[in-house]
Amino acid sequence: MATEQMEQQKLVRDCLKGKPQAQRQLYEQYADTMLGVCYRYTRSMRDAEDVLQEGFVKVFHHLNQYKQEGELGAWIRRIMVNTALNFLKRHRKYQEEMYFTEEYLHPVSQEDPAVRLQAKELADLIRQLPQGYQVIFNLHAVEGFSHVEIGEMLGISDGTSRSQYARARNLLITWLKKYSSDHKKSSYVGK
């Protein structure tokens, strides 16, 4: 572990010196994972790639601010999430879906089904949530931000974040129930 940390510190130092090989290595080490992070917030791979590129520009521009106290990947992830949120705020096709008003809310249910689902299938369902729900669900359930932090990031109250998260979660539960019952029906056909 200590060797890995020393290699990471050397990589950061070399990037700060402007060495292209080190910058390429840093990019290649984190690009695939961070593309997945960016894709969770956008509606297309093209937009996710744009966010990724913009995010890495910020990573290299602000690398001198990395204190090497925490994991570099976590520091980069935070930049990517913030870059994705800024991207959503800047682009009209996302702005129209980022409202957090009662008019856009789905009914809340307290039921909690036991459904087994592949990670890709769940990710696809999350991507079908209305954009505002998707963003808050990803920030809280996937990235681990608190509702207070989410409120600060999005300029909403923590109560709105909690409410939107609960509604997103319950909408997913409803879809999971439907998926589960549809899947059961199709598994028994022809038996």
> Mind listing the pLDDT tens digit of every residue in the chain (191 residues)?
578 888 888 999 999 999 999 999 999 999 999 999 999 888 889 999 999 999 999 999 999 999 887 889 999 999 999 999 999 888 766 655 554 444 333 333 333 333 344 566 777 788 888 888 889 998 998 888 999 999 888 888 999 999 999 999 999 888 888 876 665 555 444 44
Domain of 125 in residue numbering reads as 102-188
Among candidate residues 95, 126, 142, the one where a domain is terminated: 95
How many residues comprise the chain? 191
Among candidate residues 60, 95, 130, the one where a domain is terminated: 95
Amino acid identity for residue 87 in this structure: F
CATH number of domain containing 124: 1.10.10.10
Is residue 106 domain-shared with residue 86, that is, in the same domain? no
Among candidate residues 61, 95, 129, the one where a domain is terminated: 95
Number of domains in the chain: 2
Treating both helix axes as pointing N-terminal to C-terminal, what angle do 20-41 and 119-127 enclose, rounded to 10 degrees? 70
In 63-114, which residue ranges form alpha helices assigned H by DSSP? 72-90, 92-95
- Cα of 170 vs its chain's centroid, Å: 19
Total-model pTM: 0.67
Is residue 172 domain-shared with residue 138, that is, in the same domain? yes
Is residue 128 domain-shared with residue 46, that is, in the same domain? no
Is residue 112 domain-shared with residue 86, that is, in the same domain? no
Is residue 115 domain-shared with residue 133, that is, in the same domain? yes
